[in-house]
Structure 1
Amino acid sequence: MRVLITGGAGFIGSHYVRRSLGGDHPEFADAEVVVLDKLTYAGNRENLRPVADDPRLRFVQGDICDAELVGELMRGVDLVVHFAAESHVDRSILGASDFVRTNVLGTDVLLQAALAAEVGKFVHVSTDEVYGSIDEGSWPEGDPLEPNSPYSAAKAGSDLLARAYFRTHGLPVCVTRCSNNYGPYQFPEKMLPLFITNLLDGRQVPLYGDGGNVRDWLHVTDHCRGIELVAGAGRPGEVYNIGGGTELTNRQLTDRLLAELGADESAVRHVEDRKGHDRRYSVDHAKISTELGYRPVVDFGEGLADTIRWYRENRAWWEPLKQAATISR
């Protein structure tokens, strides 16, 4: 078996790779795992260090928009798991071109190559943000896509391309849409690692607006477990939401972090709200639960404590990243 994982040096992709090579996917026991990653600012070879010496792993630095390279790597592939994406909303507000190029054009290059190579399964990893914002209730997979940021619009475009390749060509594609991920190795521009590392350094945390924006939190291990289920038994042409089941306002999450890290209200700096900031996300994951037996198993309190502990113990990983990158918040 040969598996191609795009974006496999990023936060979620590297977790999937480490699980695949660490024995959590029994069907991958003898598989060759090929990771294709451009190593942009958010991709990091250090994320793969725990499995770097595994003879089943082949790492290729390259761009998913490079049709010649993608075509070469796609030959003989049984499964594609497509994580590669530009994913930070704040950066997409500053400029959308990279997001359109990578998320839309890059996905099209991969889909076309997978079609030509007659790949057995293609899992396209997307986000709940393509649905827009929801005041109450939760989105089922059939709800219309109403993205509000350039990032989520580019991801919605890639979702629709994946659907079109199934409907037009019969390419066996599944789309997953996850809620907010958290866990180790997450680049420290996203809310949780940014707030954790700021508090570890005795710095303030920048809270958008009134802090009332609601997100559903999903541990990266549960997310990867959901993707595994879809890769194994998901019906081609279908979309599967993957949720965590823990909804918190940003203010509530901030208060939990303050308590966990021994800080008080003086550590909170209220900043101007993000443009077009979606108020609430919430996915209904009944479909993947009913069809594939998915359920989130990582308790949020335990997962948060473990995540804080990881950042506390791995300053050598995140500190250089914060020093080298321009973190917008």
Structure 2
Amino acid sequence: MDWKNKRVLVTGAGGFIGSNLVEALVLRGAKVTCFLRYKASGDKGALDFLAPEVRESLTITSGDLADPATAAALVEGQQVVFHLAALVGIPYSYIHPIEVVRTNTLGTAYLLEACRNRGIERIVCFSTSEVYGTALYAPIDEDHPLQAQSPYAASKIGSDQIALSFFRSFGVPACIVRPFNTFGPRQSSRAVIPTIITQALKGGAVRLGAVSPTRDLCYVGDTAEGVIRMCEVPESVGEVINIGTGSEISIGALAERIFAILGRKPEIITDEKRLRPEKSEVMRLIADGRKAQRLLGWAPRTSLDEGLSRTIDWIRANPGFFKVEDYHV
């Protein structure tokens, strides 16, 4: 696919992965429209931290995706859609489960209907490895059973199935990208890696939830490349494809890895309010990435230590991006 002057809509563009994807698309010459959840403050999220020449090339709009008129207007005139918009906090989904389902599942349905009516060339819908729940076997391939261990995971399972149903029922050229645990610059302190780094840089003890669960950590630049390949490869239409490294590390070992890079040895304290309910905690996630390699020709290039070092450098350079004192749900 030639991205030069391609009209591309990115929903959830103000988020961590969204902003990195927007940046990669602009560098390829695409004309990018960014959709953000409405905020009265005018805050553009992570887009505010892009280089000025990238920001100036963007068309930015906001609203509520769980409104069919908004979805229809967004898609008008676009050729490709990357759909990332979602309420992504698992702890947030414990507090506001109905809002999470409304935004994530119903919002996706409205956007797909708009794409169906306007002949979009491709829509890439973002899923999450959380839909698999704790691994029943490892590594986790795309045929692994789906297990909703949080309202957030359930909302994303619903979103995925609606997207696949639109492909099978109406021929909408939809595909599902299922990233495992992406990390890197511009990730909020809701995520575990920025949580560890910001607390360790501040000094004193580092407060975490459970440290025994394992995660498959993929650098955001690699994730963005895999997502873009989903649009470039015709065989991805109607498919679900994992994006992950095939390696896992426990949260405790991850913290020690970060401490070693920082040259610090803070105490780790278990913070009860950061613990998930017992049956909701996903204990093990590790991707089987062979389908991405086979269909997309994609594999991660950035090592964990290199990605962590880049992330630490960015956090040091942008301390105003984070509120270290707060626990974000």
TM-score (norm 1): 0.90
Partner of residue 33, structure 1: 32
Partner of residue 216, structure 1: 216
Partner of residue 322, structure 2: 318
Distance 1:53 1:95 in 2: 35
Partner of residue 282, structure 1: 286
* Pairwise CA distance, 1:235: 2.5
- Equivalent residues in 2 for 1:129-208 (5 A)? 129-134=130-135, 136-208=137-209
Percent identity between matched residues is 34
Contact 1:9 1:48 in 2 (8 A): no
| Residues 48 and 312 of structure 1, relative CA distance in 2, 3 Å threshold | closer
- Equivalent residues in 2 for 1:46-85 (5 A)? 46-50=48-52, 51-54=54-57, 57-85=58-86
| Residues 129 and 296 of structure 1, relative CA distance in 2, 3 Å threshold | same
RMSD value, Cα = 1.8
Partner of residue 296, structure 2: 292
* Pairwise CA distance, 1:328: 4.3
Partner of residue 92, structure 1: 93
TM-score (norm 2): 0.90
| Residues 311 and 39 of structure 1, relative CA distance in 2, 3 Å threshold | farther
* Pairwise CA distance, 1:94: 2.2
Letter in 2 for 1:274: R
Q: Which runs of 5+ in 2 are unaligned?
A: 1-5
Distance 2:328 2:95 in 1: 10
Partner of residue 256, structure 2: 255
Distance 1:95 1:75 in 2: 31
Q: Which runs of 5+ in 1 are unaligned?
A: none
| Residues 208 and 162 of structure 1, relative CA distance in 2, 3 Å threshold | same
* Pairwise CA distance, 1:122: 0.6
Partner of residue 3, structure 2: none
SS at match of 2:248: strand
The answer on 1:12 being equivalent to 2:17 is yes
Distance 1:72 1:47 in 2: 27
Which stretch shows the higher mean deviation, 83-92 or 255-264? 255-264
Runs ≥4 residues deviating over 6 A: none
Contact 1:8 1:84 in 2 (8 A): yes
SS at match of 1:246: coil
Which stretch shows the higher mean deviation, 246-255 or 66-75? 66-75
Contact 2:205 2:266 in 1 (8 A): no
